Chains A and B, each alone.
Chain A
Amino acid sequence: MSKVRKTAGVLLLVALLVAYMRSSESTKRYVKHLLKQVQYLPYRYFI
């Protein structure tokens, strides 16, 4: 089960990476901008 999960996880990551690589410059800029703030979301949710 854990092997299936791992494989699914890796495939998802690869799919996201491919989607990112194939996206427009505008989308890349947007994603980068949002990713920088993801680390704060658990705190922001509660404030």
Chain B
Amino acid sequence: MPDYDAVVIGAGLGGISAASILAKNGLKTLVCENTGRVGGCCSSFEEGGYTFDIGASIVELSWVIDELFEKLGKKTSDYIDFIPIDPIYGFMTADGKRFSYPVDKDATKKVITEFSAEDAEAWDRFAKHGSEAINFAFGKVMTKPMMTFSDSLMLSIENPKLIKYLKYMILNFESTLCSFFTSDKVRASMSLQSYFIGLPPALCPGYIAFLAYSEHEGIFYPRGGMIEIPKGIAKVFEEYGGEIRFNARVDKVLVENGKAIGVKLSDGTEITSRVVVSNINAKTLYLEKIGREKLPRWAVKAIESYDVSIPAPMIMLGLDTAPELDAHHTFCYTTLEEMNRVWFEDYLSKKIPKRGFMLISWPTHADPSLAPEGHHCLNLVTFAPYELSEGDWDTIKEQYLEMQLDSMEKMFGLKLKDHITVAKVSTPKDFERALLHPRGAVYGLQNDIVATAFFRPRMRSRAIKNLYLTGASTHFGGGVAPTVGSGIAASGLILKDI
């Protein structure tokens, strides 16, 4: 008799979401977490009196979290206090201009009018398309498995609007934006979202462009830091009798006759289970935790063919004053083409970008309790390669911090240096070590259209029986809502199968 019905590897959002539904349905479930806290990339830690977020900095498409809590027979608000964020973004451009996009669509239209009257009209069309595409097409498939062509066909029959928006799976992000907007400023201001799935506007699928609209349906920050989301879910999990073991690193998935039968921890403990659920990167799962020798050749070829997503080094700052910013999120940018160059000229050449492209997150703007009174937290996120043509991340941390702070000051006039009380740099190597993300990948596997839906590793593994996948490596990809959605979908499959 196995020790557990289900063992879940990793307490990231996908893993803890799946685990909580399994526990609610009476399955004896254990979550083995490598670190000392829940959430994976959606987590927070404390240092010097400040609470810093590790990765994710906001929640959009929050209905997915509500759907999870509904399935758990609970109310989201009893576990997580979401603070609405408005404006969505502040913008700082290299020519010194500052503006922001409020949540209200008409107010955003007014801002766009200042750049182009034609684009202001296009905004209405974009918003209409975006609302349909997100709410009635792509959003509908976020919590459903999409493992085969027939799954997609069935979902298209259930959601006919998917077919209408199919062209945005063929067009790229850049072409989609350019088909609506003509002003360079407007195009650039809506191009950041391509990097939300780890790709430049030139390579990102077109439907992701509508995230620039979906945010206008509401974005939220959980009071207490991003960790409050997985903590809320974990609380429900434990209420239903689920068990979490922290600092329990899974070394191997135990496989017998092509079936997953449990896991082996780094301390040698073997835990058996009826099913194994993986919330770690699919490449790490198949190639390291299972091993090539246990996989069919086609499976090795398949999993080796995926590229992992781009890393996102992060600078976390504690400040003794409020920064001169206008919103929870500030996007520092130059042009859309420069954002493509971050990929084509810097990332592919293993160079750290020096183009001023940066997303600044200011969580204490929404929740002052994250820092001592009068103090603030800032997270500076950009994208950079794992391997560097010159130097190594472990030796250039200080240099990287100086370089980014100088760049913010010179290009955008943002003076932070004199107010820093705590400074931490989380490099791609830190991500890899702490969260088992190969090469520091923050979004699992690269989210190209040819690594999406039924071309992404399946939630119910075909290579190893009784093995299920959640998280950024499987459908729908990376992000808070998609990974929670993957947990809902994977647990549905397990409950059907077990």
Show the binding face of A for B, using Cβ within 8 Å: 24, 26-27, 29-30, 33-34, 37-38, 40-41, 43-47
Contacts and interface: CB of A to CB of B under 8 A. Distances in A.
Given A37-B448, A47-B286, A47-B458, 8 more contacts: A26-B178, A26-B340, A30-B172, A41-B455, A44-B302, A44-B305, A45-B149, A47-B463
Interface string B168-190: 00001011001000000000000
A47 B445 CA distance: 13
Interface of B: 148-149, 172, 174-175, 178, 201-203, 286, 298-299, 301-303, 305-306, 340, 344, 448-451, 454-458, 461-463
Given A43-B298, A43-B305, A47-B462, A34 B455 contact: no
A38 B202 contact: no
B448 A40 contact: no
Contact of A46 (B202, B298, B344, B450): B298
A1 to B, nearest CB: 28
A22 to B, nearest CB: 14
A40 B305 CA distance: 6
Contacts of B178: 26
Contacts of B302: 40, 43-44, 46-47
A44 B455 contact: yes
Of the candidates A33, A38, A44, A47, the one having the most CB atoms from chain B within 10 angstroms of its own CB is A47
A33 B448 CA distance: 9
7 contacts: A33-B448, A37-B450, A43-B298, A44-B305, A44-B306, A44-B456, A47-B463
Contact of B450 (A26, A29, A34): A34
A25 to B, nearest CB: 9
Contacts of B462: 46-47
B47 to A, nearest CB: 40
Contacts of A38: 450
A44 B299 contact: no
Contacts of B202: 26, 29-30
A41 B453 CA distance: 12
A9 to B, nearest CB: 21
A11 B374 CA distance: 69
Contact of B455 (A24, A26, A27, A45): A45
Contacts of A44: 302, 305-306, 450-451, 455-456
Given A30-B202, A34-B448, A41-B450, A47 B299 contact: yes
A34 B450 CA distance: 7
A34 B449 contact: yes
B307 to A, nearest CB: 9
Of the candidates A26, A37, A45, the one having the most CB atoms from chain B within 10 angstroms of its own CB is A26
A26 B175 contact: yes
Given A30-B202, A30-B203, A47-B463, A40 B301 contact: yes
A46 B303 CA distance: 10
Of the candidates B148, B302, B463, the one having the most CB atoms from chain A within 10 angstroms of its own CB is B302
B172 A26 contact: yes
A44 B451 CA distance: 8
Of the candidates B174, B450, B462, the one having the most CB atoms from chain A within 10 angstroms of its own CB is B450
Contacts of A37: 305, 448, 450-451
B459 to A, nearest CB: 11
Contact of A27 (B172, B305, B306): B172
B50 to A, nearest CB: 40
A47 B417 CA distance: 48
Nearest to A38: B450
B174 to A, nearest CB: 5
A38 B201 CA distance: 20
Nearest to A31: B172
A46 B455 CA distance: 8
B289 to A, nearest CB: 15
Contacts of B457: 47
A33 B201 CA distance: 13
A32 to B, nearest CB: 10
**Which 8 A-B pairs have CB atoms at the shortest separation, nearest pair first?**
A43-B302, A40-B305, A47-B302, A30-B172, A44-B455, A37-B450, A26-B174, A43-B301
B455 A33 contact: no
